[in-house]
Amino acid sequence: MFRAICVDYLNLLGEDLGPLNCKELESLEKQLDTSLKHIRSARTQLMLDTLSDLQKKEHSLNEANMTLKQRLIEGHQISSLHWYPQAQQEVVCYDRQHAPQHQTDEAFFHPLDCGPTLQMGYQTDPLSAGAAGPSMNNYMQAGWLPC
């Protein structure tokens, strides 16, 4: 009995197949196919279960993420009211004429004395624009090129 089990085991491993006839080889092939089907089925089921668990975790993490985003937005709105309590009553302007001055802010904030818009390189006077700098007419001067 033990010897037969050992021979069958060796046959399943693909060893000692020489003395087997065609029927025994076909039977061994069916056993291997059946075993592979069971293994593949179990592996597929395990993968599907794992996929299902991961999808549930993804769904719960998405819900937690949405909850945290909502709490962050609410917390940001509350903290902005704490930092600037008059935010609902005053409109914040960045023009120097309308900027509110508080005594506590003066030690840390010194406003710049400049206009509300910045126009670098833009000449409003057409006469001074021609003398302001290089233009396309005098960009390439022949005197600096080697002859």
Domain spans, the chain: 1-101
Contact predicate 113/96, CB 8 Å: yes
Distance CA 24, CA 8 (A): 10
Distance CA 59, CA 54 (A): 9
Contact predicate 112/95, CB 8 Å: no
pLDDT tens column, 93-117: 555 554 455 555 455 555 555 555 5
Residue in the structure block whose two tokens are 């087997």? 20
Contact predicate 11/17, CB 8 Å: yes
pLDDT tens column, 2-23: 877 887 777 777 777 777 788 8
This model's pTM is above 0.85: no
Please tell me what DSSP assigns to residue 144. G
pLDDT at 122: 55
Q: Please count the residues of the chain.
A: 147
Distance CA 91, CA 106 (A): 20
Q: Which amino acid, residue 105?
A: D
Kindly report the average pLDDT of the chain as a whole number: 72
pLDDT at 57: 96
State mean pLDDT over 76-98: 59
Radius of gyration of the chain (CA): 42
Token digits for 45? Answer: 């089921």
Residue in the structure block whose two tokens are 């090129």? 145
Q: Is 66 helix (H, G, I), strand (E, B) or coil?
A: helix
